[in-house]
Structure 1
Amino acid sequence: MATCDVCGEEVNMPYNCGSCGGTYCSAHRLPENHSCPGLEQWNDPDAVFDSGFDDSVDAGGSSGGLRSKVGLDTGPGGPLAYFRGNFAYLFLGLSVVVFGLQFLVAPLFGAPPGSPAWYDIFTLSTANPEFVWTWFVSIFAHGGITHLLFNAIALYFFGPIVERQVGSRKFAALFLVSGIAAGLGQVGLALFTGEAARVLGASGAIMAIMGVLSMTAPDLKVLLFFVIPMSVRTLTILFAGFSIFMVAANTTGSGLLSGVAHFAHLVGLFIGLWYGNRIKGRVGRGPQQLNLGPGRGGPGGPGGPGRRP
């Protein structure tokens, strides 16, 4: 049994909207009957009818746009169409690629992990905050396989839900802006307290995603450590409370320094909560359960997003 997100009716065979992810009865299954945010994209050439990379439609049929400039087919079915609706997976793939560059490629060129050159390339630090490329690279770099694995799991399962709610372009902006702001926030705090710090990892951006979901789908059921059931809102509150405690302990010199950028987590979470509060009235409550069973989830094919629970 499931409950319709509009009228609250309990239905045995609910409809899951492929755009906003909500659960609806037969009377509200059509996008126009549940005020689906996807309706706003029907006249947007960057959404339904375009890959998100081509602005030629805006040119009134002219030859402008990325397709004419670089000679690539960016329409549905083209080589770039796969990325439409799949930016969460694109960012996950970038994290894996950068991880390989960190630990396999960089050492071959005289920059082994832990060396000054390695830090200058892959981490945002108090020593060189003006290295603008590290603002971006550090989001996709990670300190080890466990660090990458936990962030990858969160991005794989939660990222596509938010991307489906807001669209790929806004999701990409949320991910990158929150990731950069989180890193700069951690470095700024370290500079303020007179400490040295190096920041890397997508945790700040992941917390922004969790913050959005806490506002748009607060009752989404998840399993902490794949065992303990709770809502995504409860999980976010627990994580935020722990981060606040650790920031306070580290700032007061209580000996609880753990090498984890907890303040970066809070910056990302704040951005996510702020943005989620802005859009929650337009995207509905979203899915109420994260179904990790076979046949659900995974990236979509060229020209369209995959299905999500």
Structure 2
Amino acid sequence: MATCDRCGEQESMPYQCRLCGGTYCSSHRLPENHDCPGLDEWDDPGGVFDSGFDDSVNDGGRSGGGLAAKVPVDTGPGGVLGYFRGNVSFALLALMWLTFILQYAVAPVLDVPPYSQQWFNIFTINTTAPLAVWTWVTSVFSHGGFGHIVLNSIVLYFFGPVVEKRIGSAKLVGLFVVAGALAGLAQVGATLVTNPSVLGEPLAFTQNGSAVLGASGAIAALMGVLTVLNPNLRIYLYFVIPMPLWIATLLFAGYSIFVSTVGGGIGAGGVAQFAHLAGLGIGLLYGVKVKREGERAPNQLQLGGGPGGPGGPGRRR
């Protein structure tokens, strides 16, 4: 239970204002309802908080420009997509599961069986066609099996909203997609450096090719950001083992390095170890940037998860 800073009411699900940092009940959660001092420094006559996801605060809840201006989508308070303002983490989570359905339910109906070359060329970054730009995005949301997506979903569910509150929705989307794509490209690129002959070869005809899919590289980036912002953030590994985030990150990195160098290589066990390390590195660097800009992280994450999910077929992230 928390106490509303405005009326003193006990609230089991309190709201925290991002302008002043105060804790409020549902009646006083809006900045204008608790006389938020942050409104005096913010040029927003409507008093509507902008999550950073769109420009609707300046035009009555309608999206800002370009195609969105021609096909208006209401993401303002009460709009059809209003829930996703400040909740982009869950939108990313939904996209992962929609892609998963496309992979294993829709694609076979369209005569694209799972793990066929055509399937790999749609849903993975691979050594056959590494410059297929669409796969740089689709691979981030694709997964190699039910266990793979479930574990990645759990970590995104807990880590995503925490990072989103610190850096904003738009930056979270950018970090997630860019870090995930670069992590996959790093894995495939490292494979091509060590085995250049597999470039362009169908995966069925080479044992040294690589196909990378999964959100683990992107999620490792989120973990890296949080590790820099608050290394002592308490998480519960596998919902059981409490530990500071910096230890979990160190174990995660140490395991990936060990497996990559001693335990069989950068793709040992069908897991894209190098992609994990690349994603983590991107997150750590971005976390340093955010910290220099004065962002703060929370002191505790009540229901944490483990540091990233396992992989699927080929090279998984």
- What is the TM-score when the length of structure 2 is the normalising length? 0.73
| SS state at 1:283 partner | coil
Tell me: CA distance 1:292–1:242, structure 2 relative to 1, closer, same or farther (3 Å): closer
The amino acid of 1:114's aligned partner reads Y
Tell me: CA distance 1:271–1:287, structure 2 relative to 1, closer, same or farther (3 Å): same
Residue in 1 that maps onto 2:221:
208
Report how far residue 117 of structure 1 moved: 1.3
Alignment of 1:74-153 (within 5 A): 74-153=75-154
| SS state at 1:223 partner | strand
Query: Is contact 2:233-2:299 (8 Å) kept?
Result: yes
Range that drifts further, 135-144 or 213-222 = 213-222
CA displacement, residues 257-307 of structure 1 (integer Å, 9 cap, x when unaligned): 2110010011110111011111125122x22222249xxxxxxxxxxxxxx
Alignment of 1:1-309 (within 5 A): 17-19=16-18, 42-43=42-43, 48-49=49-50, 52-54=53-55, 57=58, 68-194=69-195, 195-249=208-262, 257-281=268-292, 282-284=294-296, 286-292=297-303
Query: Is contact 2:266-2:273 (8 Å) kept?
Result: no
Tell me: CA distance 1:239–1:255, structure 2 relative to 1, closer, same or farther (3 Å): closer
Tell me: CA distance 1:210–1:69, structure 2 relative to 1, closer, same or farther (3 Å): same
| SS state at 1:71 partner | coil
Query: Is contact 2:52-2:169 (8 Å) kept?
Result: no
Alpha-carbon separation, structure 2, partners of 1:129 and 1:160: 31
Report how far residue 254 of structure 1 moved: 6.8
Alpha-carbon separation, structure 1, partners of 2:41 and 2:286: 19
Tell me: CA distance 1:49–1:178, structure 2 relative to 1, closer, same or farther (3 Å): closer
Query: Is contact 1:249-1:255 (8 Å) kept?
Result: no
Report how far residue 144 of structure 1 moved: 0.5
Report how far residue 132 of structure 1 moved: 0.7
Query: Is contact 1:51-1:80 (8 Å) kept?
Result: no
Alpha-carbon separation, structure 2, partners of 1:145 and 1:175: 21
Q: What RMSD, in angstroms, separates the aligned Cα atoms of the two structures?
A: 3.5
Tell me: CA distance 1:65–1:239, structure 2 relative to 1, closer, same or farther (3 Å): same
Q: Percent identity?
A: 49
Alpha-carbon separation, structure 1, partners of 2:99 and 2:85: 22
Query: Is contact 1:102-1:141 (8 Å) kept?
Result: yes
The amino acid of 1:96's aligned partner reads W
Report how far residue 187 of structure 1 moved: 0.5
Query: Is contact 1:56-1:65 (8 Å) kept?
Result: no
| SS state at 2:115 partner | coil
Alpha-carbon separation, structure 1, partners of 2:251 and 2:223: 12
Report how far residue 245 of structure 1 moved: 1.1
Query: Is contact 1:154-1:206 (8 Å) kept?
Result: yes
Report how far residue 214 of structure 1 moved: 0.3
Report how far residue 51 of structure 1 moved: 7.2
Tell me: CA distance 1:18–1:246, structure 2 relative to 1, closer, same or farther (3 Å): farther
Tell me: CA distance 1:20–1:100, structure 2 relative to 1, closer, same or farther (3 Å): farther
Tell me: CA distance 1:20–1:211, structure 2 relative to 1, closer, same or farther (3 Å): farther
Alpha-carbon separation, structure 2, partners of 1:23 and 1:55: 24
Query: Is contact 2:260-2:266 (8 Å) kept?
Result: no
The alignment of Structure 1 onto Structure 2 pairs a total of residues equal to: 264
Alpha-carbon separation, structure 2, partners of 1:106 and 1:237: 38
Alpha-carbon separation, structure 2, partners of 1:112 and 1:152: 24
The amino acid of 2:174's aligned partner reads A
